[in-house]
Structure 1
Amino acid sequence: MKNICKTLSLICLLGISQTGYSQQASAYELTLDTKKTGAPVQSTMYGLFFEDINFAADGGLYAELIKNRSFDFPQNYMGWYLSGNVELRKDNPLFDKNPHYVVLSDPGHPHKRTAIENEGFRGIGFKANGTYRFSVWAKTSGTSESQRIRIDLLDSKNEIITTQKIDITSPEWKKYEVVLTSKLTDAKGRLRIFLDSKGSVALEHVSLFPTDTYKGRENGLRKDLAETLADIHPGVFRFPGGCIIEGTDLETRYNWKNTIGPVENRPVNESRWHYTFPHRFFPDYYQSYGLGFYEYFLLSEDMGAEPLPVVSCGLACQYQNEREECHVPLNELQPYIQDALDLIEFANGPVTSTWGKVRADMGHPAPFNMKYIGVGNEQWGDEYVVRLEAFTKAIRAKYPEIKIIGSSGPSADGDKFDYLWPEMKKLKVDLVDEHYYKDPEWFLKSAGRYDNYDRKGPAVFAGEYACHLPNRANNLKSALYEAAFMTGLERNADIVHMTTYAPLLAHIDGWQWRPDLIWFDNLSVMKTPNYYVQQMYAQNAGTNTATLIQNGTPLTGQDGLYASAVYDKEQNCYIVKIANTSADSKDVKITLTGLKKQAAISLGDCTELTAGNLEIENTLAEPSNITPQKTTATIDGSTLSVKAKGFSFSLYKIKL
């Protein structure tokens, strides 16, 4: 009798075990509904947000290699080293917004030399056989006789790489150019200008650009960085910031009108990031505005992205300015509103309009077809709402077709967030900009964040977000957790219309904030695992959402799995994305329901991003530790079977 009981007990245990195994195995059986096409995925769904932080503009995307090229930093010689007889002057300036220039004169001794030398941005990067266009506005000073300067490219050992001479032939300001070829590669070079005659010469706007810029433009962009941005295939490009829109004070806010017109006459502006973090203090961080609104619009056009400029709403950074007198009073707000209206005319107006003519004179007669404008950055409180209301009324009255983006404050929740969303609905803005720099667990728990958002109000713009790890830059963990969170963005594309990771760029020798999507030095670029996640989503955005569920609910972290799907009309395929945040591989079966009779499906491209553990990262020395790789799957009838590796993000195309 005891043996029979033991046998029955064992049978029962085996039955329970087998039942448990069966439930566990079926836990990853999903259905993909092909009968009903979901909501449109906006072309702006995945994009880029640019802010001049981490030396992202000067010293980064902007290809100018000379720091303080017009001697108009508050410390006029910052970035320069002087020898001999050098005088700073600003009488009868060539450019009214950049009035300073230098005069190099004979030192008065046969064994002394007059020279100026520029350190660049943490050095100047030269590539072997690369060509560099040196230019300067110059004139003879105090003499009608021709004078001569010598231009040297120096390596990090202070040895001459190559040299050229220029004769300054006129007592009137004139632009001189020469192209130099580097004989070697060096990331920490310098530029030196010698006076090579016995008289005096005046020099203004000393410039050095690689000739091989993005799209070959003078005053252009650093080619490798711009191509890295374009390779994401962004749908929207938000610029020029963030917090620099506000400024530490109103005097240092980003004023778009100072960034257009001749590049030589765009005034220097103080970057609010050079002193924000005492532990990452960069007192030489200024904005030359050489990369300005015209160049941002051009880059948007080049990348095929919708331009999304952001303008000041008259509030200085509220973190740094708690007193009302730090901001523009409501009765003095009109010039700021006019700036926004003028910006729309600059972007879209005919060449016969005031600001449309400015655009045309800069080389772009055709309008940029701007559709969106952001008013303010991370503003909050009633002081923001009343100012935004004034902007909204004015823009709606003159440009009703322009979509206006308001703010939900500096965080994804809390009092400021809870106050602002209802106010944004009352103002009937088109999108609300949400920002979240959060820890890994927040990203995993928030994959369902937008599942129950109000569909009757404004759409969502996830304008700044990144998974933050303690004292770390970027690794597989942060990228994977962002990928998991983004399945929720994709699933809710009917309400989420734009998303942009932040910050975008960081110089390895000059960063203030991390993590960042792309890291670089003076010669090379490193794409983070986070970059590849953004790229995989953007290049596979689809045209419509698709319903992918398990037992009637989406995968939002069950056993570490997250999943979403879209349909792509142009390719006539479904694209399934799966993030496995657990260490164990998972067998996942996805059955397509609602297919037409005799329909046959086939497997398209399959890609995965994974590594042995979550701590692995890319570096400038080893930029390919984690990159997307081809993977495999199988299709049997109407079922796709995949093995989602541990710690992986993968996508699978199912062709109809």
Structure 2
Amino acid sequence: MKTERIITTAALLMGMYTFPSVAQQSLQFTIKANEVKAPVAPHMWGIFFEDINLSADGGIYAELVKNRSFEFNTPLMGWSIPKETAANGNVLVVNRHDTHPSNPRFARITVTGTRSFDMVNEGFRGMGIKAGEQYNFSVYARQQGSTPVKIRIALLDESGKEIGNAVVSPQGSEWQLYKASFTASATVAKAKLQVAFSGPGILDADMISLFPQHTWKERSNGLRADLVQLLVDLHPGFLRFPGGCIVEGKELTNRYQWKKTVGDVNDRELIINRWNTEFAHRATPDYYQSFGLGFFEYFQLAEDIGASPLPILNCGMACQYNSGEVVAVNELQPYIQDALDLVEFANGDTHTKWGALRAKMGHPEPFHLKMLGVGNEQWGPQYVERYTIFAKAIKDKYPDIKLVNSLGPSPDGDKFEFLNDTLRRLNADILDEHYYSSPGWFLSNAGRYDHYDRKGPKIFAGEYAAHTKDNGANKNSWQAALAEAAFMTGLERNTDVVVMASYAPLLAHVDGWQWAPDLIWFDNLRSYGTPNYYVQKLYANHKGSEVVSMLKGNQVITGQDSVYASAVLDKATGELVVKMVNAAATPVPVEVAVQGVKGLAASSRLITLQSNDLQALNSLDAPTHIAPTEKTIDTRRKTIKTTMAPWSFYVIRTKINP
């Protein structure tokens, strides 16, 4: 995602307000239920995850301590020493890079008096704590002298009052893991963790950690349960990870390297997050990647939510908007080997090197990887050169793996045309198109894929979101969500070409975002789905299995008289599923004649997403201000009749007798 490629189309944007009124005459549509156009891919509607907007550390990764291993460029960032205890000792950050290169630093605390020396961690914009919930503390520690140092931990609310505490007593001169648990007595949105060392004596400490007991599936090193539940409710067909531009890095040294994110959490090498200073107006200097959420956890999450994993790997190119650095082609082999080893990690037998590591981490069964992305938003001949080498190596060893390939950062222009033409000639598997644009662009491009080559590569609508204005201040308004719903009728109508689609970005912390809009917003305690989220949910939850023809006269419906529409059959339930969007400010009566069936059920489900205010938003305090409602409507005599409300998205499910 790049701010440089947001397309503003003022004239098209105004189109949402200027469609002619058709309130007095019904629009006549026809569905040919026996005319199947294409199957709907099982993984059609999915999730794009990128560690932006505090999505991982401080977000879905449930760790509450920031800079737990003192590896930030400023080693004590996130930590403070209260003035009242500063005279009682000191802390020294020791670097042991030669012997522990992946986690070189630890804190050496010297307590000089009989009173405690305290360190306080601020968390990620505070720590969200819930009354009555158990919290699990852990620390690696060793004693340095004959007089042992004890550790007392306490959660403090915004006023400094204790709301939970525990004590650990490290023993011996060797590193050991120590744990303690306690129950919080109050709900606090921005708590802090106080770690008090009492002696006198010297203690070494590392990996100071605090997790809620209640994570997703109650896992240690787990994920935030409410955020995962929002993903589960989407019923996603795939999970693309770990990004996005995060894959590329500003320079190659800052790229995402999956092998450094697996194995023991204590041995994963922290790096600075590439979104740390990307946007000057939203700079986040404390944004790092601990990789507690690494590739194993991504695969595990995909499995948990019923999604096919789609990892994206660096292809030897850093972000072309930043450094444009590339690895020499004759030095590309380590990058290619990473790709081959990843397939082994995901699918390999437990007797293989990387399959054995997966088993050691607790998952002897394969993750059933079927797709792999080569590069993120690369463009130009240098990408084609590297992709070609990657593709040959991967296909030679794993011919069944489908490769996802970049078409650059924009849906048109010279960069796009070059890659589109070249990769089609190379018989690429799946082409990844991205579009961040105005609501008007999405409305006018609902027919984008109606005339695409049906025999060429498949399309992945890998990143898209309607932007209401520039400079990162875009809102998740109903106007944007409605335009996306209209555009998605064109994606669904063309599932013989478009086989995957995902909104982006996925998550954003209200106090730590760099990029907007985003599908799900959260603070330290709460979360909510945007109107865009509910659009995605309605498509994915009512995906169907086969696309059937829906016409106005002899034309596909791409916005005639403000209405956009598509239809699918759901063979599992024996239902016809119709999706319709009214992008006008006036009600629109519609009649849909269903051909190719003996009849329809007497009544059908009508699910509506609607607002009379295009600028309306959901929020933490009003999370379902715009959310689906449901009722039944009459659908006798092979006809569906309804009057669509202004600015509305309808999903109609009706049983059919074929």
TM range (shorter): over 0.9
Aligned mate of 2:199, from 176, 197, 200: 197
- Aligned residue for 1:614? 614
Instruction: Report how far residue 147 of structure 1 moved.
Output: 3.0
Find the aligned partners of 2:244 and 2:644 in 1 and give their Cα distance. Answer: 37
Instruction: Report how far residue 631 of structure 1 moved.
Output: 3.4
Q: How does 1:264-343 map to 2 (within 5 A)?
A: 264-322=266-324, 326-343=325-342
The structure-2 alpha-carbon separation of the partners of 1:632 and 1:584, relative to structure 1 and needing over 3 Å to count, comes to farther
Aligned mate of 1:184, from 178, 183, 186: 186
| C-alpha distance after superposition, 1:9-64 (max 9, x if no partner) | xxxxxxxxxxxx99986661111112222311001110000000001000001000
DSSP 3-state at the match of 1:631: strand
Q: How does 1:129-528 map to 2 (within 5 A)?
A: 129-143=132-146, 145-322=147-324, 326-470=325-469, 471-528=473-530
Instruction: Report how far residue 615 of structure 1 moved.
Output: 1.1
- Aligned residue for 1:13? none
| C-alpha distance after superposition, 1:314-361 (max 9, x if no partner) | 011001124xxx210111101100100000100000001111011111
DSSP 3-state at the match of 1:187: strand
- Aligned residue for 1:5? none
Kindly provide the amino acid, as one letter, of the partner of residue 196 in structure 1: S
| C-alpha distance after superposition, 1:502-545 (max 9, x if no partner) | 00000000000000000000000021000000000000000000
Instruction: Report how far residue 141 of structure 1 moved.
Output: 1.3
- Aligned residue for 2:90? 85
Instruction: Report how far residue 199 of structure 1 moved.
Output: 1.6
Contact 1:86-1:114 at 8 Å conserved across structures: no
- Aligned residue for 2:3? none
- Aligned residue for 1:8? none
Kindly provide the amino acid, as one letter, of the partner of residue 641 in structure 1: K
Kindly provide the amino acid, as one letter, of the partner of residue 533 in structure 1: V
| C-alpha distance after superposition, 1:190-228 (max 9, x if no partner) | 001111222222111000001000011110100000111
RMSD, matched Cα: 1.6
Find the aligned partners of 2:577 and 2:309 in 1 and give their Cα distance. Answer: 27
Find the aligned partners of 1:575 and 1:600 in 2 and give their Cα distance. Answer: 12
- 1:645 equivalent in alignment to 2:650: no
The structure-2 alpha-carbon separation of the partners of 1:602 and 1:346, relative to structure 1 and needing over 3 Å to count, comes to farther
Kindly provide the amino acid, as one letter, of the partner of residue 86 in structure 1: V
TM-score w.r.t. length of structure 2: 0.93
The structure-2 alpha-carbon separation of the partners of 1:92 and 1:373, relative to structure 1 and needing over 3 Å to count, comes to closer
Q: How does 1:90-129 map to 2 (within 5 A)?
A: 90-91=95-96, 95-108=100-113, 110=114, 113-129=116-132
The structure-2 alpha-carbon separation of the partners of 1:93 and 1:141, relative to structure 1 and needing over 3 Å to count, comes to farther
Find the aligned partners of 1:248 and 1:267 in 2 and give their Cα distance. Answer: 17
- Aligned residue for 1:549? 551
Kindly provide the amino acid, as one letter, of the partner of residue 642 in structure 1: T
| C-alpha distance after superposition, 1:171-203 (max 9, x if no partner) | 211111111211111111000111122222211
DSSP 3-state at the match of 1:153: strand
Instruction: Report how far residue 86 of structure 1 moved.
Output: 1.3
Instruction: Report how far residue 604 of structure 1 moved.
Output: 3.3
| C-alpha distance after superposition, 1:588-623 (max 9, x if no partner) | 111111224xx4534332200011211111011211
Q: Quick check: 530-539 or 418-427, which moved more?
A: 418-427
DSSP 3-state at the match of 1:34: strand
The structure-2 alpha-carbon separation of the partners of 1:351 and 1:618, relative to structure 1 and needing over 3 Å to count, comes to same
Kindly provide the amino acid, as one letter, of the partner of residue 476 in structure 1: W
Find the aligned partners of 1:401 and 1:140 in 2 and give their Cα distance. Answer: 54
Kindly provide the amino acid, as one letter, of the partner of residue 421 in structure 2: P
Contact 1:503-1:515 at 8 Å conserved across structures: yes
Find the aligned partners of 2:524 and 2:400 in 1 and give their Cα distance. Answer: 42
The structure-2 alpha-carbon separation of the partners of 1:440 and 1:228, relative to structure 1 and needing over 3 Å to count, comes to same
Find the aligned partners of 1:106 and 1:191 in 2 and give their Cα distance. Answer: 19
Contact 1:104-1:115 at 8 Å conserved across structures: no
Instruction: Report how far residue 146 of structure 1 moved.
Output: 3.8
Find the aligned partners of 1:593 and 1:218 in 2 and give their Cα distance. Answer: 55
Instruction: Report how far residue 93 of structure 1 moved.
Output: 8.9
- Aligned residue for 2:43? 44
Kindly provide the amino acid, as one letter, of the partner of residue 638 in structure 1: K
Instruction: Report how far residue 415 of structure 1 moved.
Output: 0.4
Find the aligned partners of 2:490 and 2:552 in 1 and give their Cα distance. Answer: 15
| C-alpha distance after superposition, 1:47-106 (max 9, x if no partner) | 000000001000001000111100011111011113332121134998541111112222
Find the aligned partners of 2:328 and 2:22 in 1 and give their Cα distance. Answer: 64
DSSP 3-state at the match of 1:633: strand
Kindly provide the amino acid, as one letter, of the partner of residue 361 in structure 1: K
Find the aligned partners of 1:275 and 1:462 in 2 and give their Cα distance. Answer: 28
Higher relative contact order (Cα pairs below 8 Å, separated by 6+ residues): 2
- Aligned residue for 2:15? none
Contact 1:632-1:642 at 8 Å conserved across structures: no
Find the aligned partners of 1:373 and 1:22 in 2 and give their Cα distance. Answer: 47
The structure-2 alpha-carbon separation of the partners of 1:158 and 1:23, relative to structure 1 and needing over 3 Å to count, comes to closer
Instruction: Report how far residue 266 of structure 1 moved.
Output: 0.4
Instruction: Report how far residue 113 of structure 1 moved.
Output: 3.4
Find the aligned partners of 1:253 and 1:309 in 2 and give their Cα distance. Answer: 14
Contact 1:149-1:197 at 8 Å conserved across structures: no
Find the aligned partners of 1:165 and 1:91 in 2 and give their Cα distance. Answer: 28
Kindly provide the amino acid, as one letter, of the partner of residue 519 in structure 2: L
Contact 1:467-1:478 at 8 Å conserved across structures: yes
- 1:57 equivalent in alignment to 2:59: no
Equivalent residue pairs, number: 628
Find the aligned partners of 1:307 and 1:589 in 2 and give their Cα distance. Answer: 41
- 1:539 equivalent in alignment to 2:541: yes
Contact 1:430-1:459 at 8 Å conserved across structures: yes
- Report sequence identity in percent: 48
The structure-2 alpha-carbon separation of the partners of 1:23 and 1:73, relative to structure 1 and needing over 3 Å to count, comes to closer
| C-alpha distance after superposition, 1:278-325 (max 9, x if no partner) | 000011100000000000000000011000000000011001124xxx
Kindly provide the amino acid, as one letter, of the partner of residue 430 in structure 1: D
The structure-2 alpha-carbon separation of the partners of 1:195 and 1:630, relative to structure 1 and needing over 3 Å to count, comes to same
Q: Any stretches of 5+ residues in structure 1 without a counterpart?
A: 1-20
- Aligned residue for 1:4? none
DSSP 3-state at the match of 1:98: coil
DSSP 3-state at the match of 2:92: strand
Q: How does 1:526-605 map to 2 (within 5 A)?
A: 526-596=528-598, 599-605=599-605
Contact 1:214-1:226 at 8 Å conserved across structures: yes
Kindly provide the amino acid, as one letter, of the partner of residue 427 in structure 2: K
Find the aligned partners of 1:396 and 1:453 in 2 and give their Cα distance. Answer: 26
TM-score w.r.t. length of structure 1: 0.94
DSSP 3-state at the match of 2:266: helix
Contact 1:633-1:643 at 8 Å conserved across structures: no
DSSP 3-state at the match of 1:532: helix
Q: Quick check: 373-382 or 468-477, which moved more?
A: 468-477
Contact 2:567-2:576 at 8 Å conserved across structures: yes
The structure-2 alpha-carbon separation of the partners of 1:651 and 1:92, relative to structure 1 and needing over 3 Å to count, comes to closer
Kindly provide the amino acid, as one letter, of the partner of residue 589 in structure 2: D
Contact 2:26-2:589 at 8 Å conserved across structures: no
Kindly provide the amino acid, as one letter, of the partner of residue 136 in structure 1: V
